[in-house]
Amino acid sequence: MKEWPKIFENAQVGDEVYCRMRGDGVIIAVNRGNALPIECAFNDGIDSNEYYLFDGRIYNNSPEPLLFYRKDDERYLTERPEPEKEIDWKEWEGKEIEVFNSGSITKEKRILYKYKPSLCRPFICYDSEKTNVLFTWEKAVLIEEQKEPEIDWSRVPEDTKVRVSDLKDRIDKQDIELFMGYFPKLEYPFWVFSDSDKESAHGYSFCKLAEPCKPEWDKK
């Protein structure tokens, strides 16, 4: 019998795949000690996972592989696609991302509150309806063509959580402060304070929300 290349020998959880029989799916587990080490979930509506050999066949006597890698619209890939560039998720706090857990191929849009890489579920996100309720998620991807909202800072209320800096490219690395007000005629128009100490207020050149933007703050 023909020997097929073991294209999934270096597979990782989260790799996107395509099966001739079940369509698009994702690898949800790699159990190297098992007879069928590659476990996949699919979006065909069937509530059961499938298991494969490293060469993509479903059992040793299968005539040919059924499973392949996929990327975007490309299917039947016989090499693992290059991993995406590592994302600094700290920079996406306060922005909308897509999150999901292992075993699921359905992604949900959520606002990222905090990224804690030490946790099993490092993506701490606001609930879709209530901004005072938080949930944790295992994995995340960026939303394509995501754009920053255009904010009318005169509408942003006091005590809103923000980040400020005099250098625009450093703003994501700053600690969260509380917004005091926007004074466009001043050299440093964005004024903030720490905790409840308004006497510590300072002005800065640039300001960025550290919590979800409410519709009434958007210029649109």
Report the chain's mean pLDDT, rounded to a whole number.
88
| pLDDT (tens digit per residue) in 27-70 | 999 999 999 999 999 988 888 899 999 999 998 888 899 999 99
Quick one: what percent of the chain has pLDDT higher than 70?
A: 93
Tell me the pLDDT tens digit for each residue of 116-174. Answer: 999 999 999 988 766 678 999 998 888 865 556 789 999 999 999 999 999 887 888 88
Rounded CA-CA distance 99/101 in Å is 7
Distances (CA, A) of 44 to 12, 41, 47, 203: 22, 9, 9, 54
pLDDT for the residue numbered 74: 87
Would you give the end-to-end CA distance of the chain in angstroms? 64
Q: What is the pLDDT of residue 194?
A: 84
Q: How far apart are CA 147 and CA 170, in angstroms?
A: 19
